[in-house]
Amino acid sequence: MSSPVRIGTRDSALALWQAQHVQGLLKEVGLESVLVPVKSTGDLNLTQPLYEIGVTGVFTKELDVALLNNQIDLAVHSMKDVPTLLPKGLSTAFVPERGSVLDVIVMKSDRLEKGNHVIATSSLRRQAQWLNRYPNDSVVPLRGNVQTRLEKLNKENWHGAIFAQAGLERLNLIPKNTLTLDWMLPAPAQGAIMVIGRTNDSQLLGPLKSLNHATTALCVSAERDFLRTLQGGCSAPIGAWATIDKDKMWFKGCLTDLDGKSHFVVEEVFDINTDDIGHKAAEILLHQKGAGELLNRIKE
């Protein structure tokens, strides 16, 4: 391609880090690129919790429109923000190797003392799993980019706030009072970046296939299939994590009530060549007594 590839990105520090990471990967296959920042609905509305905004793809829609309108050539997304069905005319260009999938809690002090705590997060998944483990705590909403949320934590009278470990690591912003929540199941595709292009742009998409990290792509595909089968958007308290060891995929997924009182878990090992692993895992979970009723209640 004679002219630089136009990479669309949100303009937060984390989004720009991810876009610059993709820029570096494009250079490896001989492609020069420029960044084109685009504001998203999720960035412009920082007062409402995400589940109240009621828009599919609050962090991705504007970039996808710019892509379809030929204003950019590629869009870089945090994969956990991307709806499980892409708009018509758009396809995955590649998925780079994933970062950490885990959540962490940043605490005001070096540890959480016994007693009732106030924990900040706007993720219903994090809220539900936290309350399932600590039913006497309370959860308050916290929106904004990573730096804004860290600043709010310092100002407010909260005991801690929950973040994705990958975001803090990428910005080199891990505070000293940070604890990894290895018991909390992440959002499907957490820690992964997704690069999207126009389906008919074979001249660009062709050279990018070599940048796809196969193991990451297989795992996030299973996690997103699990989410799609349960028909949960970003507002549903659904967690999923797939890992590969030789010819096996270990899959763990969960569905949790918003108040944490009901918690359904599926944990299975599949042969790597099994079709529809995420779908099968979701069906196993839904066969547990009460899981289907909970899912219907959450959707309502």
Burial call 218-252: b when 16+ CB within 10 Å, e when fewer: bbbbbbbbbbbbbebbbbbbbbbbbebeeeebebb
AA letter at 8: G
- Residue 167 resides in a domain: yes
Residue 260 neighbours by CB distance under 10 Å: 19
81 is catalytic: yes
- What confidence tens digit (pLDDT) does each residue in 156-175 have? 999 999 999 999 999 999 99
**Residue for token pair 């940070």:** 178
CATH number, domain containing residue 202 = 3.40.190.10
The answer to whether residues 42 and 109 belong to one domain is no
For residue 109, the model assigns a pLDDT of 85
The answer to whether residues 25 and 56 belong to one domain is yes
The answer to whether residues 236 and 261 belong to one domain is yes
The answer to whether residues 9 and 52 belong to one domain is yes
Q: Please tell me the total count of domains within the chain.
A: 3
48 or 83, higher pLDDT: 83
For residue 261, the model assigns a pLDDT of 96
The answer to whether residues 115 and 91 belong to one domain is no
CATH number, domain containing residue 254 = 3.30.160.40
Answer yes or no: is pLDDT of 182 > 80.
Answer: yes
Q: Please give the model's pTM, rounded to 2 decimal places.
A: 0.90
Answer yes or no: is pLDDT of 200 > 90.
Answer: yes
- Residue 115 resides in a domain: yes
Answer yes or no: is pLDDT of 111 > 90.
Answer: no
Question: Please, what is the average pLDDT of the chain?
Answer: 91
Q: Which helix (H) or strand (E) holds 62?
A: helix 61-68
**Residue for token pair 């803090």:** 168
The answer to whether residues 228 and 207 belong to one domain is no
- Residue 218 resides in a domain: no
- What confidence tens digit (pLDDT) does each residue in 218-244 have? 999 999 999 999 986 656 899 999 999
Q: Which residues are CB-contacts of 206 (< 8 A; sequence separation ≥ 6)?
A: none
The answer to whether residues 161 and 277 belong to one domain is no
- Residue 187 resides in a domain: no
The answer to whether residues 202 and 77 belong to one domain is yes
For residue 52, the model assigns a pLDDT of 42
Task: Give yes or no for a contact between 186 and 241, defined as CB atoms under 8 angstroms apart.
Answer: yes
The answer to whether residues 161 and 91 belong to one domain is no
Based on the number of CB atoms within 10 Å of its own CB, is 164 exposed (0-12), middle (13-18) or buried (19 or more)? buried
What is the residue range of 261's domain? 224-299
For residue 43, the model assigns a pLDDT of 42
The answer to whether residues 243 and 266 belong to one domain is yes
Task: Give yes or no for a contact between 141 and 251, defined as CB atoms under 8 angstroms apart.
Answer: no
For residue 50, the model assigns a pLDDT of 42
Based on the number of CB atoms within 10 Å of its own CB, is 28 exposed (0-12), middle (13-18) or buried (19 or more)? exposed
The answer to whether residues 16 and 78 belong to one domain is yes
Q: Which helix (H) or strand (E) holds 249?
A: strand 248-256
Task: Give yes or no for a contact between 23 and 8, defined as CB atoms under 8 angstroms apart.
Answer: no
- Residue 217 resides in a domain: no
**Residue for token pair 């042969």:** 271
Catalytic residue among 81, 201, 225, 257: 81
Based on the number of CB atoms within 10 Å of its own CB, is 275 exposed (0-12), middle (13-18) or buried (19 or more)? exposed
Closest CA to 276 of 241, 226, 240: 226
258's tokens = 């918003």
The answer to whether residues 117 and 175 belong to one domain is yes
For residue 234, the model assigns a pLDDT of 57
- Residue 219 resides in a domain: no
